[in-house]
C-alpha cells in the first residue's frame, strides 16, 4: 500500500475540480456532481467545511471519501458530528481497501476537530462494510411511506436524537444548486418538498415550525393535493392513522436504506430507533 499517499481534502477550486472529475467518472454525468454542486456541498456549509481524505497514486486521484459537518441534539445536548457522504474509487484502484483506510483517517481527523460522531445512510450492499470494517451500529432501516394529502406533521420535542437546523443552515440546505424545492405552508408549520424525477411524485423532506424557517424564504409554493408524496425517514412518534399514507412495498424499493451511527468519542452512545427524528432533509437523498 506504500505506493498510495493519503491527503486531507484540497478544497480549493482546483481540488474540487479533481474530485468532481473522479465522481463523474465513477457515477456518470447524470449524477450531477459538478463543480458548482460540490462547492456548495463541501465549502459553503455554515456548520463547517467538509472533512475527508483522498488517496493518490502519483498524479492520479485513486479514491475519495468525504463527510459533512452537522449539528445534532443528542440526549438533550447540541453536539457536532459528521454526515457520511460521497465515496468513490477509480476503476483501476478497486479491491485495495482504500475506502476503509480513507474513512478511518477521516474519522480520526474529525475527532481531532471536535466532531463526536458519524451518522450515515447506507444501502443494503454497503451496510455490512460500515458495520464490520468501520465499527458502525446499524440503527434501523428507514421507513418509507407513500400517499396523498397531508401527513402527520406533529413536531415532538422528546427525541434522543435529531438534527439541529437553524435559519442559517436551513437556508444553505435549501440553496442546493442541483434541485429546486417547494414549500406547503400551514397555520403553524411548513412542509418542504422536492421533485423526485418521477412525474407527479414529490418527496416530503421535512416539517418545520414557521418561526424556524429562514427569513424571506423564496422557494416555490406547493399545491396541497398536486401529487403523490413519498415520506422517507425514521420517526416512530409520527402517527399515520387517519391519513391516506401506506407502507412502500419492499419489493419495489431499489435498495433498502439503513441508518447507521458511530460514536467517535469512545462513550458508545447509540441512539435508540424509537427515539430518533431523522428526515429526508437530514441527508443527501434530495
Distance (Å, whole) CA 268 – CA 124: 24
At 37 the pLDDT is: 94
Q: What is the pTM of this model?
A: 0.93
pLDDT of 103: 98
C-alpha count within 13 angstroms, C-beta hemisphere, residue 51? 26
Fold of the CATH domain 5-141+256-282: Aminopeptidase (3.40.630)
pLDDT digits (tens, 9 = 90+) for 96-123: 999 999 999 999 999 999 999 999 999 9
Strand 181-185 with 161-163, pairing: unpaired
Domain boundaries, the chain: 5-141+256-282, 143-252
The confidence band for 219, taking pLDDT boundaries of 50, 70 and 90, is confident
Q: Which residue has the cell 429526508?
A: 280
Q: How far is residue 63's CA from residue 120's CA, in Å, rounded to a whole number? A: 19
Amino acid at each position: 500500500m506504500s505506493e498510495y499517499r493519503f491527503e486531507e481534502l484540497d478544497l480549493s477550486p482546483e481540488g474540487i475540480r479533481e474530485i468532481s472529475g473522479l465522481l463523474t467518472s465513477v457515477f456518470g454525468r447524470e449524477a450531477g456532481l459538478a463543480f458548482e454542486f460540490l462547492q456548495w456541498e463541501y465549502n459553503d456549509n455554515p456548520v463547517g467545511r467538509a472533512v475527508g481524505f483522498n488517496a493518490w497514486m502519483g498524479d492520479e486521484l485513486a479514491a475519495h471519501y468525504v463527510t459533512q459537518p452537522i449539528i445534532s441534539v443528542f440526549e438533550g445536548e447540541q453536539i457536532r458530528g459528521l454526515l457520511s457522504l460521497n465515496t468513490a474509487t477509480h476503476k483501476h484502484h478497486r479491491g485495495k481497501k482504500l475506502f476503509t483506510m480513507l474513512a478511518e483517517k477521516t474519522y480520526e481527523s474529525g475527532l481531532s476537530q471536535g466532531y463526536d460522531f458519524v451518522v450515515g445512510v447506507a444501502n443494503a450492499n454497503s451496510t455490512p462494510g460500515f458495520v464490520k470494517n468501520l465499527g458502525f451500529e446499524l440503527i434501523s432501516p428507514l421507513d418509507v411511506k407513500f400517499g396523498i394529502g397531508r401527513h402527520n406533521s406533529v413536531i415532538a420535542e422528546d427525541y434522543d436524537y435529531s438534527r439541529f437546523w437553524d435559519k442559517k443552515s436551513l437556508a444553505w440546505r435549501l440553496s442546493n444548486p442541483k434541485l429546486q424545492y417547494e414549500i406547503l405552508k400551514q397555520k403553524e408549520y411548513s412542509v418542504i418538498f422536492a421533485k423526485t424525477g418521477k412525474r407527479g411524485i414529490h418527496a416530503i423532506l421535512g416539517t418545520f415550525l414557521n418561526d424556524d424557517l429562514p427569513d424571506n424564504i423564496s422557494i416555490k409554493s406547493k399545491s396541497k393535493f398536486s401529487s403523490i408524496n413519498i415520506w422517507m425517514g425514521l420517526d416512530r412518534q409520527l402517527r399515520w392513522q387517519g391519513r391516506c399514507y401506506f407502507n412502500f412495498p419492499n419489493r419495489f424499493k431499489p435498495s433498502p436504506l439503513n441508518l447507521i451511527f458511530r460514536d467517535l468519542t469512545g462513550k458508545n452512545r447509540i441512539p435508540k430507533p424509537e427515539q430518533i427524528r431523522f428526515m429526508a432533509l437530514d441527508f443527501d437523498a434530495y
